[in-house]
Amino acid sequence: MADKEKDSKKVSRRKFLVKGGLGTIGVVAIGAYLFRSPIRRQILGVVNSLEAPYLDNIDQPMIWFEVTSDNNILLHSPKMEMGQGTFTGIAQMAAEELSVSMNQIQVVHAASSTGNVDSFATGGSTSISGLWKPLRELSAMLRVMLLKEAAIKMNVDVNQLSVVDGVISGNGKTLTYAQAAEGVENWEVPDVPVLKEAKDYKYIGQPIARVDLDAKVYGDPIFGMDAEMPDMLYGAVVRPTKIGSIFVSADTKAAEHMPGVVKIVVEDDFVGVVANSMLEAEKAKDAIIVTWDSYDNLNTDAIVKMMTVGNGNSSVIQKNGDSFDDQDEIVTLEFRSPIGAHAQIEPNGVVAFVDGDSATIKISTQVVGLTRKEVAKRLDLDAEKVNVVPTYLGGGFGRRLHTPHAVQAAIMSKAVGKPVKYFFSRKEEFQHDMFRPPTHHVIKGKLNAEGYLDGLEHQFVSGDVATDSALIPNALTNFLGADVGAIRGGFIQYTAIPNFKAECWHVELPFATSWWRSLGLLANTFAMESFMDEMALKANKNAVDFRLHQIADEPIDNRLKNVIKAAAEKANYNEEVKDSRAMGFAASIDANTPCAQVAEVSILDNEIIVHKVTVAMDPGLAVNPDQIRAQCEGCVIMGMSAVLYEQMFVEDGELTPTIYGPYQMALMKNAPKEIDVVLLQGKDTPGAVGEPPLGPIGAAIANAVRRLTGERLTELPLKLSKKV
Q: How far is the CB of 424 from another protein (least distance, A)?
A: 10
Q: What is the C-alpha to C-alpha distance for residues 670 and 60, in angstroms, rounded to an integer?
A: 48
Q: Is 637 in the site for another protein (CB under 8 A)?
A: yes
Q: Quote the CA–CA distance of 410 and 398 in Å, as a whole number.
A: 22
Spatial separation of the C-alpha atoms in residues 333 and 340, rounded to whole Å: 22
Q: Does 89 bind another protein (CB under 8 A)?
A: no
DSSP per-residue letters across 432-486: T--BBPPEEEEEEEEE-TTSSEEEEEEEEEE--SSTT-SSS-HHHHEETTEETTT
Whole-angstrom distance, CA of residue 351 vs CA of residue 495: 50
If we measure between CA atoms, which residue out of 404, 415, 424 comes closest to residue 471?
Answer: 404
Q: Which CB sits closer to another protein, 192 or 262?
A: 262
Shortest distance in whole angstroms from residue 223 CB to another protein: 6
Kindly state whether residue 210 participates in binding another protein, applying the rule CB under 8 A: yes
Of 636, 680, 701, 713, the residue at the interface with another protein (CB under 8 A) is: 636
Element (H or E) spanning 411, and its range?
helix 404-416
Q: For residues 444-468, b (16+ Cβ closer than 10 Å) or e, as one string?
A: bbbbeeeebbbbbbbbbbbbbbbbe
From residue 458, how far is each of 211, 518, 550, 551 by CA, in Å? 43, 19, 16, 16
Query: Among 132-140, 483-491, 532-540, 633-641, which window interacts with another protein (CB under 8 A)?
Result: 633-641
The CB-of-688 to another protein minimum distance in angstroms stands at 17
425, 478, 558, 681: which one binds another protein (CB under 8 A): 425
Q: Whole-angstrom Cα distance, residue 654 to residue 426? A: 15
CB of 260 to another protein, least distance (A): 8
DSSP alpha helix (H) spans, 270-402: 278-287, 300-306, 368-378
Q: Which is nearer to another protein, 276 or 681 (CB)?
A: 276
* Binding of residue 235 to another protein (CB under 8 A): no
CB of 259 to another protein, least distance (A): 8
Applying CB under 8 A, the span of 405-413, 529-537, 625-633, 679-687 interacting with another protein comes to 625-633
Hey, which residues between 545 and 564 contact another protein (CB under 8 A)? Answer: none
User: In angstroms, what is the minimal distance from the CB of 601 to another protein?
Assistant: 16
H or E element at residue 706: helix 697-709
Handedness of CA 482, 485, 487, 491 (dihedral sign): positive
Considering only 267, 557, 569, 626, the residue that binds another protein (CB under 8 A) is 626
Q: Which CB, 302 or 659, lies closer to another protein?
A: 659
Residue 259 CB contacts under 8 Å (≥ 6 apart), including other chains: 280, 283
The one-letter code for the residue type at 553 is D
Among 15, 173, 242, 426, the residue binding another protein under the rule CB under 8 A is 426
CA distance 88 to 76: 13
Q: Which of 630, 648, 699, 702 binds another protein (CB under 8 A)?
A: 630
Which one, 470 or 665, has the nearer CB to another protein? 665
Nearer to another protein, 2 or 604 (CB): 604
d(CA 221, CA 219): 6
Please write down the HEC assignment for all residues of 236-265: EECCCCECCCEEEEEECHHHHCCCCEEEEE
Partners of residue 578 on adjacent β-strands: 581
Task: Report 646-705 residues binding another protein (CB under 8 A).
Answer: 658-662, 664-673, 675
Give the C-alpha separation, 31 to 35, whole Å: 12
Task: Tell me the C-alpha distance between 144 and 97, whole Å.
Answer: 10
Of 209 and 246, the one with the shorter C-beta distance to another protein is 209
Closest to 656 in 3D by CA, of 486, 461, 430 = 430
**Which one of 46-54, 272-280, 490-498, 529-537 is the stretch in contact with another protein (CB under 8 A)?**
272-280
Nearer CB in complex with another protein: 143/421: 421
Nearest approach in angstroms of CB 364 to another protein is 9
CA atoms in the 13 A half-sphere facing the CB of 344: 28
**Per rule CB under 8 A, is residue 720 in the interface with another protein?**
no
Q: How far is residue 40's CA from residue 488's CA, in Å, rounded to a whole number? A: 17
Smallest CA-to-CA distance from 31 within 15, 20, 19 is with 15
Nearer to another protein, 110 or 636 (CB): 636
Angstrom distance (rounded) from CA 391 to CA 81: 8
| Selected binder of another protein within 7, 182, 226, 557 (CB under 8 A) | 226
Q: How far is the CB of 390 from another protein (least distance, A)?
A: 14
Q: Considering all CA atoms of the chain, what is the largest pairwise distance in Å, rounded to the nearest integer? A: 85
In the Cβ-directed half-sphere of 398, how many Cα atoms lie within 13 Å?
A: 24
Binding track, positions 280-309, relative to another protein; x by CB under 8 A:
------x-----------------------
Q: CB 638 → another protein: shortest distance, Å?
A: 4
Tell whether omega for the bond before 692 is within 30 degrees of 0, i.e. cis. Answer: no
- The nearest distance, CB 83 to another protein, in angstroms, is 3
Separation CA 391–CA 225 (nearest Å): 9
CB of 529 to another protein, least distance (A): 20
Select from 186-194, 246-254, 345-353, 499-507 the region that touches another protein (CB under 8 A): 345-353
CB of 353 to another protein, least distance (A): 18
50 versus 671: smaller Cβ distance to another protein: 671
Q: Is 515 in the site for another protein (CB under 8 A)?
A: no
Q: Does 158 bind another protein (CB under 8 A)?
A: no
Please report whether residue 714 would count as binding another protein according to CB under 8 A: no
The minimum distance between CB 220 and another protein, in angstroms, equals 7
Sole binder of another protein in the list 23, 172, 219, 356 (CB under 8 A): 219
Q: CB-wise, 209 or 480, nearer to another protein? A: 209
Least Å from the CB of residue 273 to another protein: 17
222 binds another protein (CB under 8 A): yes
Binding to another protein, residues 576-615 (CB under 8 A)? 605
CB of 351 to another protein, least distance (A): 13
Provide the pairing of β-strand 453-462 with 349-355. Answer: unpaired
- The half-sphere exposure of 688 on its side-chain side, counting CA atoms within 13 A, is 28
Single residue of 204, 633, 686, 713 touching another protein by CB under 8 A: 633
Nearest to 198 by CA among 689, 688, 687, 685: 685
Shortest separation between residue 222's beta carbon and another protein, angstroms: 8
Q: By CB under 8 A, how many residues form the interface with another protein?
A: 67
Residue with Cβ nearer another protein (35 or 392): 392
Binding residue for another protein, selected from 188, 191, 214, 382, defined by CB under 8 A = 214
- Residue ranges in 374-413 that form contacts with another protein under rule CB under 8 A: 392-397
Of 366, 421, 424, 355, nearest in space to 390 by CA: 366
Q: Which residues bind another protein (CB under 8 A)?
A: 82-85, 209-210, 212-223, 225-226, 259, 277-279, 286, 342-347, 392-397, 423, 425-427, 605, 626, 630, 633-638, 641, 658-662, 664-673, 675
